[in-house]
A = this chain, B = another copy of it.
Amino acid sequence: MSISPDKKSKDRVVILGAGFGGLAAAQKLKSADVEVVVIDQRNHHTFQPLLYQVASAGLDVGDVCYATRGIFHDQPNARAMQGRMIGLDIPQKRVELANGAAVHYDFLVLALGAVTADYGVPGVAKYGFGLKSGADAQRLRSHIVAQFEIAESSPTKERVAQTTIVVAGGGPTGVEMAGGFSELIDHVFRYDYPDIDVDQARVILVEGADRLLPSFRPRQSRKAQRKLERMGVEVLLSTQVSAVTGGGVVLDSGEEIETNTLVWAAGVKANPLLDSLGFATGRGGRAVVDEFLQVEGHDDIYIIGDLAATQLGDGSLAPQVAPVAIQGGQYVAARIKQQVLAGKQDRSASKKLAKLGAFAYKDKGSMATIGRNFAVVELPIGPAITGFIGWLAWLLLHLVMLMGFRNRIRVLITWAHNYLTYDRGNRVVIDSGEPS
């Protein structure tokens, strides 16, 4: 086996995590004189921005998850493997994996991302549905489809909880999901379940701040809220979920809502794998890094993306979003490339390294999409774009970002079909029935 625990002739960059940050770093190292190994607990990359579409039956899991090994077919110096880190031996420069293997590194990039954070709200972990992985999305979709199936044969009393969906968290993820579920019920379930009065079904979006999309401008928040309400979503602002039970949620206002489906999009925290590594952490458990995204005292260990407490120019913390991870990944790859050359006595490398300077995140804007033809798009300068034009921009950007010709075309076809027919074909629940 060539991923040996010991140092080989060429410097090896080990990247932990095959999300946006990890893959951006790996791909940027294509021209560097290194061996790149990307290790992820799963065998695939997950295109998280579109997970809400899997959850609301607009896309299939296979449209947003990509076998990581396949991604590197065309990059000879990089390879992916599946593994879970259980320890880090810094003096020996080794990553220890759950399967017993150890992988040597010359440079280490930690890009382990974030996981759902329940902020200690009772019942979330047990009864709630997160949305950070393909499995999460598929599980949530199957649950919702199954709830409506059961509801058709259920007494009206039980039907309420079965046909009520509560989404906690009014950021982009929650907003997008609420819109998606609303459309699924209105345009598809209405015809799938003729015996259910879908106008009695409820989608409720709960947000603790006084407006949706708190990271956007207030005007976009209002537009998003109006759009959702026109679609039939109930928006509760300045409200939080204080407890979740098997059959409902309790709000901090005291109100109780009967529901079998509580979707938790209210927050994330840095991957707790970080805890065991002994690095300094800040808010949300994110790792403290210097202006070069390095761990204090270790110029060979970088932390990027959702896992890192990346500082912006104004001293604030970078949001945990894809562009921060991607730019961070590209930045550390550029640094590592020069560090390797400098290690080989290449004098211009030190100069280039100095020229790279500190990491400077360039905010290129934010987007949130609501339903089938509406999005709010904020750019760093100029007015925001809302509505159908915004949605087209969103569509284009995501198609460009999607990996792989096949996936891109398939997603485009699916979206075209869904758009023209209002259908959402991905309502198949495969884990039912007797074993055959």
Contact = CB atoms under 8 A, between A and B. Distances in A.
Interface string A296-316: 000000000000000000000
B153 A427 contact: no
Interface residues of A, number: 68
Interface in A391-436: 404-407, 409-410, 413-414, 417-418, 421, 423, 425-436
A161 B407 CA distance: 33
30 contacts: A1-B153, A3-B153, A41-B432, A42-B432, A43-B149, A43-B429, A69-B191, A70-B188, A70-B191, A70-B423, A73-B423, A81-B152, A82-B432, A83-B153, A99-B150, A99-B153, A101-B153, A116-B436, A130-B435, A130-B436, A132-B436, A133-B433, A133-B436, A404-B425, A405-B421, A406-B421, A406-B425, A409-B413, A410-B410, A413-B413
B406 A417 contact: yes
A42 B429 contact: yes
Interface string A58-84: 001110011101100100000101111
Interface in A120-147: 130, 132-136, 138, 145-146
Contact of A427 (B3, B69, B409, B418): B69
A425 B101 contact: no
Interface of A: 1-3, 41-44, 60-62, 65-67, 69-70, 73, 79, 81-84, 99, 101, 115-116, 130, 132-136, 138, 145-146, 149-150, 152-153, 188, 191-195, 404-407, 409-410, 413-414, 417-418, 421, 423, 425-436
Contacts of A429: 42-44
A1 to B, nearest CB: 5
B417 A413 contact: no
A62 B60 CA distance: 7
A263 to B, nearest CB: 14
Given A60-B60, A410-B410, A414-B406, A192 B430 contact: no
